[in-house]
């Protein structure tokens, strides 16, 4: 014990305490030296900023909204930071509520828009932790709860990346830059604030955020930020699966799915989100599965660009299809019939994935229906084609079938048939079914009659 204390004391003398770093001074960029205007800010965000300012509190726009404005992008939302506590913010705005446990924030609603308001965060020293929190933090470095308030300087150092640590002051309309944020934004560099290994241990999701910003913005990770990620990727196993599910949606349902997939693979992170899919990608059929996933990514991005709806169910159905097919083949080799084998493989794939990124039942049930329809789409005789088209998941299953053909997993033709069938009128549809289905049905009846006749081997000649 004494040796460990001596070692810790030596590190503090040599490098200083990571809990009490030297606070930076702001580089103030006046209004006439930056392009951000209040005209670009939503009315709801301005109402919150002016409401806090009028009540005597500091009020700043912060983070991604400023980054996006400097990059010429329209922000998806606006975040506000203040020296007011969550309780003070809550009392100030009627339509507000405090949310969060690890770090409390306030959601303030104006019309249909919600503005997220947070309080300046402080550096949490070890003596601020209770025994259980201290023990967990010492063992893993993971921050469990963080509701200590501080100054804007401390808050800037607690931000994850420099590109997200810029502040816009409603009092003087100036930008406050503590960590060379504007320079990194202009250079297209993603840089962690502080020691990368410590920051990743505090919150492993920061590795996913680094990949997401690189994909979204087309920025490059600086060397110190990128280097520890492959080695520290297993820390994602500490993150609750429900939180990782939300992170997956941010990665793949924000209009840059292909780039996100490629970043995750390059940084070694994908294997800890979808381990069985990663294993399939490394198999002999890996090129087929990669084409399938990339085709789905492109399809998702295209739909988002056209303002068409997308669903996590389709995304996850594609990611887990290689896992399902691999397990299905194993069950079939064991002699299990096709339909039960498919059902059993689907259950296995979903259960395995739930240990890494949870899949809510409202999505997993849709995925099962899409998977179940894949073999049924080839059975179009009689009224089956019309019955299939009435199925609520037909369109999703049809789109999935097209992707499988595009990737080369199955032979082309069936998807083109369904494309023509949906566009045809009723007489044409009947003719299509008769052209494809009648010979097969008649041949099947003859074979069944011969088997029932008891003719033995002669009838099979």
Least confident of 14-18, 117-121, 218-222, 421-425: 14-18
Using pLDDT thresholds of 50, 70 and 90, give the confidence band for residue 160.
Answer: very high
- In the chain, the largest separation of any two C-alpha atoms, in whole Å, equals 99
- Which of 72, 82, 71 has the alpha carbon at shortest distance from 45? 82
Mean pLDDT of 235-258: 96
How far is 18 from 47, CA to CA, in rounded Å? 37
- Dihedral angle computed from the Cα positions of residues 14, 19, 20 and 25, in that order, rounded to the nearest 10 degrees: 110
The lowest-confidence range among 36-45, 144-153, 292-301, 451-460 is: 451-460
CB 357 within 8 A of CB 241: yes
Q: Is the model's pLDDT at 98 over the cut of 70?
A: yes
pLDDT digits (tens, 9 = 90+) for 296-338: 999 999 999 999 999 999 999 999 999 999 999 999 999 999 9
How large a percentage of the chain has pLDDT more than 70? Answer: 85
> 360, 339 in Cβ contact below 8 A?
no
| Closest among 190, 232, 183 to 211, alpha carbons compared | 190
Q: Helix, strand, or coil here: 121?
A: strand
Q: Which whole-number Å values give the CA distances from 166 to 27, 81, 153, 266, in the listed order? A: 10, 11, 11, 29
Determine the pLDDT at residue 16: 38
For 28-67, the pLDDT digits (tens) are 999 999 999 999 999 999 999 999 999 999 999 999 999 9
Q: What is the mean pLDDT of residues 447-458?
A: 39
Q: Which residue has the higher pLDDT, 68 or 10?
A: 68
**Model pTM score:** 0.82
- Residue 162, pLDDT above cutoff 80: yes
**Cβ atoms of residues 321 and 292 within 8 Å:** yes
**Residue 148 confidence (pLDDT):** 81
Provide the pLDDT confidence category of residue 250 given band limits of 50, 70 and 90.
Answer: very high
pLDDT of 452 > 70? The answer is no
**Window from 15-24, 227-236, 324-333, 340-349 with minimum mean pLDDT:** 15-24
Q: In the predicted model, what is the mean pLDDT of the chain?
A: 87
At residue 137 the predicted structure's pLDDT band, cuts being 50, 70 and 90, is very low
Please give the average per-residue pLDDT across 422-427, as a whole number: 95
Q: What is the DSSP string of 147-165?
A: --B--HHHHHHHSSBGGG-
Please list the active-site residues: 77, 79, 160
Give per-residue pLDDT as tens, 166-223.
999 999 999 999 999 999 999 999 999 999 999 999 999 999 999 999 999 999 999 9
CA distances from 373 to 22, 66, 272, 377, 391 (A): 61, 46, 29, 6, 9
pLDDT digits (tens, 9 = 90+) for 338-380: 999 999 999 999 999 999 999 999 999 999 999 999 999 999 9
> Is residue 17 pLDDT above 70, yes or no?
no
Query: Sorting pLDDT into bands at 50, 70 and 90, what band is 132?
Result: very low
The pLDDT value given to residue 112: 87
First to last CA, the chain: 85
Residue 183 DSSP class: H
| Cβ-based neighbours of 337, under 8 Å, separated by 6 or more | none
- What is the structure's pLDDT at 129? 41
How distant is the alpha carbon of residue 250 from its chain centre?
4
User: Residue 7 pLDDT > 80, yes or no?
Assistant: no
Q: What's the CA gap between 118 and 199, in Å, rounded?
A: 20
């Amino acid at each position: 014990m004494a040796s460990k204390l001596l070692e810790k004391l030596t590190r503090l003398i040599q490098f200083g305490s990571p809990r009490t770093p030297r606070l930076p001074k702001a580089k103030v960029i006046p209004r006439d030296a930056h392009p951000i205007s209040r005209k670009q800010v939503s009315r709801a965000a301005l109402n919150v900023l002016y409401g806090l300012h009028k009540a005597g509190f500091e009020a700043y726009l912060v983070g991604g909204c400023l980054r996006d404005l400097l990059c010429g992008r329209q922000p998806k939302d606006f975040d506000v930071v203040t020296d007011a506590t969550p309780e003070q913010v809550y009392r100030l705005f009627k339509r507000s509520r405090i949310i969060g446990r690890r770090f409390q924030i306030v959601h303030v609603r104006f019309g249909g828009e919600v503005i997220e308001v947070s309080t300046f965060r402080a550096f949490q020293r070890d003596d601020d932790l209770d025994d259980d929190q201290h023990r967990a933090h010492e063992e893993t470095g993971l921050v469990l709860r963080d509701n200590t308030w501080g100054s804007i300087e401390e808050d800037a150092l607690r931000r994850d990346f420099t590109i997200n640590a810029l502040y816009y002051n409603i009092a003087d309309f100036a930008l406050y830059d503590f960590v060379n944020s504007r320079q990194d934004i202009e250079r297209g560099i993603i840089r962690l604030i502080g020691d990368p290994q410590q920051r990743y241990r505090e919150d492993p999701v920061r590795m996913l955020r680094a990949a997401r910003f690189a994909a979204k913005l087309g920025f490059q990770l600086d060397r110190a930020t990128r280097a520890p990620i492959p080695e520290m990727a297993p820390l994602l196993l500490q993150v609750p699966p429900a939180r990782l599910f939300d992170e997956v949606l941010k990665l793949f349902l924000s209009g840059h799915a292909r780039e996100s997939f490629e970043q995750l693979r390059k940084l070694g992170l994908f294997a800890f989100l979808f381990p069985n899919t990663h294993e399939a990608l490394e198999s002999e059929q890996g090129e087929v599965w990669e084409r399938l996933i990339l085709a789905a990514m492109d399809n998702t991005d295209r739909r988002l660009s056209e303002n068409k709806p997308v669903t996590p169910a389709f995304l996850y159905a594609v990611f887990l299809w290689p896992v399902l097919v691999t397990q299905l083949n194993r069950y079939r080799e064991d002699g299990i019939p096709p339909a039960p084998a498919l059902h059993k493989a689907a259950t296995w794939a979903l259960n395995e994935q739930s240990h890494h990124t949870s899949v809510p039942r409202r999505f997993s049930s849709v995925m099962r229906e899409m998977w179940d329809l894949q073999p049924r789409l080839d059975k179009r005789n009689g009224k089956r084609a019309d019955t299939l088209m009435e199925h609520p998941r037909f369109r999703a299953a049809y789109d999935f079938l097209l992707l499988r053909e595009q990737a080369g997993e199955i032979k082309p033709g069936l998807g083109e048939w369904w494309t023509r069938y949906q566009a045809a009128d009723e007489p044409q549809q009947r003719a299509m079914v008769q052209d494809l289905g009648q010979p097969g049905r008649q041949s099947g009846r003859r074979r069944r009659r011969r088997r029932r006749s008891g003719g033995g081997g002669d009838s099979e000649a």
